[in-house]
Amino acid sequence: MLDMSRLLPGPYATQLLADAGADVVKIEDTGAGDYARGMAPMRETDDGAVGTIFDAVNRGKRSVALDLKSEAGLAAFHDLAAAADVVVESFRPGVVDRLGVGYEDVRETNPGIVYCSLTGYGNEGPESARVGHDLNYVGRAGLLDMTREGPDAAPVVPGYQVADLAGGLFTAFAVVGGLLSRELGDGTGEYVDVAMADVVLSFGQAVATEALDGADPRPGETPLAGAYPWYDSYEAADGRYVTLAALEPQFWAAFCETVGREELVDAHGTDDEAERAALREALAAVFAERSRDEWVATFDGVDGTVDGVYSPAEAVRLDSFRERGLLRGDRPRVGFPAVADLPDAEETVPGQGEHTAELLREAGYTAEEIERLRAEGVVL
């Protein structure tokens, strides 16, 4: 797999595939390379400091540094692509075609290639030329609007890069789907155009259907975004928060019984705004009686749909994630998010161009040819 992407979305996609056993080759330029390498915050490694984002999503990959604007560098890319199964890129629309490494260029050499472009607004469409980042995409797709506490409150910037990671996840899915179609079909590859804004809109199924039916779902007023007192977060006695998600009557009944408030059982499902307000007040008083961790312990083994709200620093230390093998490596990172029969993954982060000679030898280049390219500044 040749990965021409940078920063977070594309590398996250190919990291998932690398964890699953793919041989991922980063194609970097001979200048700065993937500039996530130097983006703060930094993490110290045996080979010096590296950006934490780069460290997180580039483990076990190989790096080739090529000057694609040179004739020899372009030829080297196509020699590598001839033996590849997949190409992933995240340049602005039109860039790969101008460089001569677009889908039509690659499939002339390799008709079986699965080629995936990952952009903010798509390679085609009325917004394809618009520049953006995660915040722009979640804003356009409706997610940012739904982060408000209420219709008149300001939007809240999500704590995670939802569009970047959703786009990366869907890219990995699209690559696997393309490979499966190729293997079950006639052996030809395909082109996939993934837009991060599209994926975020797809994630909005719970409210998008209402909107398509002519409604105007508003933050704080939809069932799963603030309307239900039995589906919300509450402050505990220690200032931390807990979550209550008792959508089903049996979970609500178990919750009420556990906290000794059986008289609240019949309030579940009420549409009366005054009853909902009174119930929310009663729940706030209940949760204020104990600390977050005491509430989590109280509902251990009880089907009451109560859990804690944890900071990222707390979350990565929870046994619930560690015992499932999600935290891996001598320099821990969040690994493949499923328990599966995965190969033993290489956890080192490649230096820029570290594997250039190795990959070019695999493509049939001699040592003399590689040295000549290096001397000309075509490769690192």
- Residues recognised as catalytic: 133, 164
Report the distance separating Cα 286 and Cα 282, nearest Å: 6
Local structure of 166: helix, strand or coil: helix
Phi, psi angle pair for 25, to nearest 5° = -115, 115
> Any idea what DSSP says for residue 39?
P
Report the distance separating Cα 119 and Cα 297, nearest Å: 44
Phi, psi angle pair for 274, to nearest 5° = -65, -40
Q: Are strands 231-235 and 48-51 parallel, antiparallel or unpaired?
A: unpaired
DSSP string, 88-134: EE-SPTTHHHHHT-SHHHHHHH-TT-EEEEEESS-SSSTTTT----H
Instruction: Give the pair of three-digit tokens for residue 185.
Output: 């079909």
Residue 209 to residues 116, 201, 203: CA-CA distances in angstroms?
28, 11, 11
The single residue listed with the structure tokens 């979350």 is 315
Contact (Cβ atoms closer than 8 angstroms) between residue 1 and residue 324: no
Residue 127 to residues 5, 94, 123, 197, 240: CA-CA distances in angstroms?
20, 13, 9, 10, 42
List strand residue ranges (DSSP E) for the chain, in order: 2-3, 25-28, 42-45, 48-51, 62-65, 86-89, 114-119, 190-195, 231-235, 241-245, 306-308, 327-328, 333-334
